[in-house]
Amino acid sequence: MDHFLYRGGVLCAEDVPLTEIAAEVGTPFYCYSTATLERHYRLFDEALAGMDHLVCYAMKAASNQAILRTLAALGAGMDVVSGGEYARAIAAGVPGDRIVFSGVGKTREEMRVALIGGIRQFNVESEPELRALSEVAASLGLRAPITIRINPDVDARTHAKIATGKSENKFGIPIARARAVYAEAASLPGIEVVGIDVHIGSQLTDLEPFRLAYRKVADLTGVLRADGHDIRRLDLGGGLGIPYTRSNEAPPLPMDYGAMIREELGHLGCEIEIEPGRLIVGNAGVLVSAVIYVKEGEGRDFLILDAAMNDLIRPAMYDAHHDIVPVIEPAPGGEQRPYDVVGPVCESGDTFARGRQMPAVAAGDLVAFRSAGAYGAVMSSEYNTRPLIPEVLVNGRDFAVIRARPSFDEMINRDTIPEWL
**Ranges in the chain annotated CATH 2.40.37.10:** 4-31+282-412
Task: Report the alpha-carbon distance of residue 351 to residue 345 in Å, rounded.
Answer: 9
Longest CA pairwise span in the chain (Å): 70
346 given a catalytic annotation: yes
User: CB neighbours of 53 closer than 8 A, spacing ≥ 6?
Assistant: 45, 271, 272, 273, 274
pLDDT (tens, 9 = 90+) of the chain, 421 residues, equals 789 999 999 999 999 999 999 999 999 999 999 999 999 999 999 999 999 999 999 999 999 999 999 999 999 999 999 999 999 999 999 999 999 999 999 999 999 999 999 999 999 999 999 999 999 999 999 999 999 999 987 764 544 544 444 445 556 899 999 999 999 999 999 999 999 999 988 788 889 989 999 999 999 999 999 999 999 999 999 988 888 876 555 788 999 999 999 999 999 999 999 999 999 999 999 999 999 999 988 888 999 999 999 999 999 999 999 999 999 999 888 889 999 999 999 999 999 999 999 999 999 999 999 999 999 999 999 999 999 999 999 999 999 999 999 999 999 999 999 999 9
**The predicted structure's pLDDT at residue 172:** 82
Per-residue pLDDT, 344: 97
The CATH class given to the 34-280 domain equals alpha beta
97: which residues sit within 8 A by CB, 6+ positions away?
118, 119, 120
Catalytic choice (31, 56, 270, 346): 346
CATH number belonging to the domain at 4-31+282-412, selected among 2.40.37.10, 3.50.50.60, 2.30.29.30, 3.30.450.20:
2.40.37.10
Residue 75 region, left (φ>0) first, then alpha (ψ -120 to 50), else beta? left
Burial class (CB in 10 A: 0-12, 13-18, 19+), 85: buried
CA dihedral defined by 364, 370, 371, 374, rounded to 10 degrees?
A: 0
CATH 3.20.20.10 residue spans of the chain? 34-280
- State residue 414's pLDDT score: 96
Predicted pLDDT of residue 170: 59
Radius of gyration, alpha carbons of the chain: 23
Q: Is 349 within 8 Å of 265 (Cβ atoms)?
A: no
Task: Single out the residue of 64, 1, 68 nearest to residue 56, CA to CA.
Answer: 68
Residues 6 or more apart in contact with residue 130 via CB below 8 angstroms:
124, 146, 148, 181, 184, 185, 188, 191
Rounded-to-integer distance, Cα 124 and Cα 116, Å: 18
Cβ contact 34:395 at 8 Å: yes
Write down the pLDDT at residue 54.
98
